[in-house]
Amino acid sequence: MAERRLAAMYGLENKRLHGIIVQQLFRINHLEELLDQARELHREAEKSAREILEEEIKDDRVNFGKAKEKWFFCKSSRRRERRSCGKDCHLNEQWKGATRQFGKKRKESEEAMRELIEKVEKLENELMQKRKKISEMLAASQNEETDLNKLREEHEQEIGKVRKEVVRLQGLLEDVEEENGRMKNAIESLKEDKKTQGKSKKNLQYRSI
């Protein structure tokens, strides 16, 4: 009878430990899904930021070439249209300043993107270490419920940290995109000023003729 009782108790204990192990494995899978989502968000954000930067750089090169041509024209007609040339030169300086500012913002965006990549890589390394630690503790603590409870609490805390980090990274991406949008609007405003100045200059030429 005593042997049967011991066997029954051992069987119940094994079932209970098996259930705990299954729960821990389920939590690991859930954490991996969260990290997969974070990596996907990172890839999408990196692709979007790269496309925006490439398009803006392309537009800036075209506009800068036009601004350069206009500056040379102002230089050649400086004696006849001193006031108009002065305005164009001032506008050209504004354009150069906007170009430098955009280069600075682009560098900041690239630094922010590198920071995001480093954060994701750090999270992946921490996940690998946690998985290894969980495997070792599960193998060494099959008969120690206290260690399993402690492991479960640490695992839940780690999941909370990962979620907070994902939210912070998403906010950082939104800030980068918002800053790029403001810079693009400023460049568009300068384009409109250049067009208006060009029309005024043509009117002055017609009047002088």
Instruction: Convert the pLDDT of each residue in 80-130 to its tens digit.
Output: 655 555 555 555 566 566 566 666 666 766 676 677 667 767 777 777 777
Q: Angle, to 10 degrees, between the axis of helix 2-76 and the axis of helix 145-208?
A: 10
Residue listed under structure tokens 């204990």: 13
CB-based contact 64:99 (threshold 8 Å) = yes
Residue listed under structure tokens 């200059």: 201
Spans of all domains in the chain:
2-208
Query: In sequence order, which ranges of 77-144 are alpha helices (DSSP H)?
Result: 82-140
Per-residue pLDDT band at 189 (split at 50, 70, 90): confident
What pTM, to 2 d.p., does this model score? 0.31
- Which amino acid is residue 44, in one-letter code? E
The tokens describing 131, both together, are: 């998985």
- Which amino acid is residue 184, in one-letter code? K
CA distances from 160 to 21, 38, 58, 166 (A): 20, 14, 42, 10
